[in-house]
Amino acid sequence: MLVLGIETSCDETAAAVVADGERILSNVVASQVLTHEKYGGVVPEIASREHLKKIDLVVDEALLQAGVTLSGIDSFAVTEGPGLIGSLLVGVVYGKGLALSLGKPLVGVNHLEGHIHAVLLENKRQREADPAVEEATLPAVSLVVSGGHTSLFLVSALQDNGRARFKYAPLGKTRDDAAGEAFDKVAKLLALGYPGGPVIDWLAPFGNARAVDFGRIKMRGNPLDFSFSGIKTAVLYRVRGTTLAEEAETRRTWRKTVTARITADDIRLRCSAATLDLVASFQNAVVNDLVERTIAAADANAVSTILVTGGVACNSLLRTRFAEAARARAMSAFFPSLDLSTDNAAMIAAAGYHKLVAGERANTALTAHATLPLGQ
Ligand code: KG4
Ligand code: ZN
């Protein structure tokens, strides 16, 4: 079954064709990052306009790369939420229009469910290439960690006539900022660029991660919840009124004068050792917290499979620490490739496929939801 997936929940316009929920025939992503960069964050109104401009081209490109025409597509899957309402609406309306006009089935997919399927999709892709690769078996604990979300789920699959019905039980989530949001805000404060995650990931190895002790993040109530606003504020207090703030201001001014593309090395050369130490210590504290709570969730639910996904899953230190922590506990941690970690439509097509084979169909009432809980 060929599923065309569409994803427009934030600032990436994406379309992909996936065969039988596991073979990626095309995966096209048009990023708006350069458009939003000058504002230091996603501007919702601009994001929806950009989706409108690009969706046709992106879908055409996905079909072209997959070597199929629209009539060869069996079903459509579109992200219905959570996300920016104006952005989501573009994809939902476009997907509905295609499915209705062609008389083909359509399903709405939760963006977080998509991210979880990105790991399973990657695992199938790797095992196809090399059967010796370990299988990501369920039940598993999944950490979905991105610019908009930091959530833990217990993921299981019930076999129903040879078809997998996936179940998601929420275990914890952030009470304030998402981890990616904290990376982006710290990078903005220090004038390191946007998005903050990749640049901090790149700069951190040049600093001393033990230089600043942020302490452990304490949570009252559910120990599997997250909170990153405290550490973000702690960084702010260490910068405000100090030479670090002056240094950031110098970088901000320099950025405005540069017309060529700024590389991570250009930024590093304009960072003092104290700034690099702060960045490294911040990343270390966030990564440790993410790993510790996820391992605790796996322990509490007696599972040995961990699925880490979302934009922050690109982080090199996070990948290393999860691999170490999992090995030490005879658990296995799985990640998507970098292109499947950030927002994409292949994950939406894959998640949609399983819903479609389970008989799920959206009707004309399908609409966009800014908030859409998964598994509640
Ligand atoms: O999943 P995603 O593309 O969009 C959302 O659904 O939010 O994630 C984007 C987020 C941004 O906050 C970005 O800074 C973060 O992922 N990110 C990273 C890295 N690459 C992207 N954070 C830490 N380290 C990275 N290497
Ligand atoms: Zn996402």
Which residue owns the Cα nearest ligand 1 atom 23? 197
Q: What is the model's pLDDT at position 41?
A: 83
Q: How far is CA 88 from the centre of its chain?
A: 16
Return the closest-CA partner of residue 76 out of 49, 103, 45, 112. 103
User: Does the CB atom of residue 310 touch ligand 1 within 6 A?
Assistant: yes
Q: Say if residues 304 and 332 touch (Cβ distance below 8 Å).
A: yes
Determine the distance separating the centroid of ligand 2 and the alpha carbon of 327, expressed in angstroms: 27
- Kindly give the residue spans of alpha helices, DSSP state H, lying in the chain: 33-37, 44-66, 85-102, 111-129, 179-189, 196-203, 229-239, 243-257, 264-268, 273-300, 316-328, 338-341, 346-357
Strand 140-145 to strand 150-160: parallel, antiparallel, or no bridges (unpaired)? Answer: antiparallel
Contact 110, 81 (CB under 8 A): yes
pLDDT tens-place values along the chain, 376 residues long: 999 999 999 999 999 999 999 999 999 999 988 888 888 888 999 999 999 999 999 999 999 999 999 999 999 999 999 999 999 999 999 999 999 999 999 999 999 999 999 999 999 999 999 999 999 999 999 999 999 999 999 999 998 877 889 999 999 999 999 999 999 999 999 999 989 999 999 999 999 999 999 999 999 999 999 999 999 999 999 999 999 999 999 999 999 899 888 999 999 999 999 999 999 999 999 999 999 999 999 999 999 999 999 999 999 999 999 999 999 999 999 999 999 999 999 999 999 999 999 999 999 999 999 999 999 7
Maximum distance among all alpha carbons in the chain?
A: 65
pTM, entire model: 0.96
User: Distance between CA atoms of 272 and 281, rounded to whole angstroms?
Assistant: 14
Among all bound ligands, the one having the nearest atom to the CA of 110 is 2
Going from the Cα of 7 to the center of ligand 2, the distance in angstroms, rounded, reads: 9
Helix then strand count (H, E) for the chain reads: 13, 10
DSSP-derived 3-state class of residue 162 = coil
Closest ligand, as measured to the CA of 197? 1
345 Cα: distance to centroid of ligand 1 (angstroms): 16
The whole-number pLDDT of residue 29 equals 98
Helix or strand (DSSP H, E) at 360: none
Predicted pLDDT at 164: 84
From ligand 1's centre to the CA of 348, what distance in Å? 17
Instruction: Evaluate whether 180 touches 172 at the Cβ level (below 8 Å).
Output: no
